[in-house]
Amino acid sequence: MLATIRRQNPFFPVLNDLFGDNYLNDSDWNTSPAVNIAETKEAFRIEVAAPGLKKEDFKINVEKRVLEISSEKESTKEENRENERYYRKEFLYSSFKRTFSLPSYADTDSITATYKDGILNVTVPKKEEAKEKPIRVIDIE
């Protein structure tokens, strides 16, 4: 029995805790698209590299603070050659599913997504109370 090696992100250990380290799971490397996760003061941004798909091919669901991004696509390719008695038909199926555990301060009701140039961008806003507040300096008289 092979043990699954869990990768740790030494540069962003907080992201491993917040989003779960399933996005770095070894089994995902060959079957799922690459994902980048960035954080700003207002939101998290998840970028999914998925060229060749249409926005209609994606499903994005949130349930109990778990964000699931998936796609399932079926296409066919036919090739006929005039001078040969050769016929070929290929069924092409592709699918993936990525899940992310969202932190409790993620505003799951306001998630948005856009797809452009082969990149799916999912924005997960933070709740107002989680956003960094500016430091107020008090003058001493």
Q: Spell out the domains of the chain, with CATH numbers in brackets.
A: 13-69+99-127 (2.60.40.790)
> Helix, strand or coil for residue 37?
strand
The C-alpha torsion from 10 through 19 and 41 to 64, rounded to 10°, is -170
The pLDDT assigned to 127 comes to 92
Taking all residues of the chain, what is their mean pLDDT, rounded to a whole number?
A: 76
HEC string for 73-134: EEEEEEEECCCCCCEEEEEEEEEEEEEEECCCCECHHHCEEEEECCEEEEEEEECHHHCCCC
| SS3 assignment, position 26 | helix
Q: Is the distance from CB of 48 to CB of 57 less than 8 angstroms?
A: no
Question: Residue 42: its pLDDT value, please?
Answer: 93
Determine phi and psi for 44, rounding to 5 degrees: -105, 145
What is the model's pLDDT at position 129? 81
- Assess contact for 115 and 51: CB atoms under 8 A: no
**Predicted pLDDT of residue 3:** 34
Spans of the chain below 50 pLDDT: 1-16, 21-30
User: d(Cα 72, Cα 57) in Å, to the nearest integer?
Assistant: 6
Helix, strand, coil % (nearest 5) of the chain?
A: 15, 45, 40
pLDDT number for residue 24: 44
Q: Cα 13 to chain center, whole Å? A: 18
Q: What is the reported pLDDT for 139?
A: 76
Reported pTM: 0.64
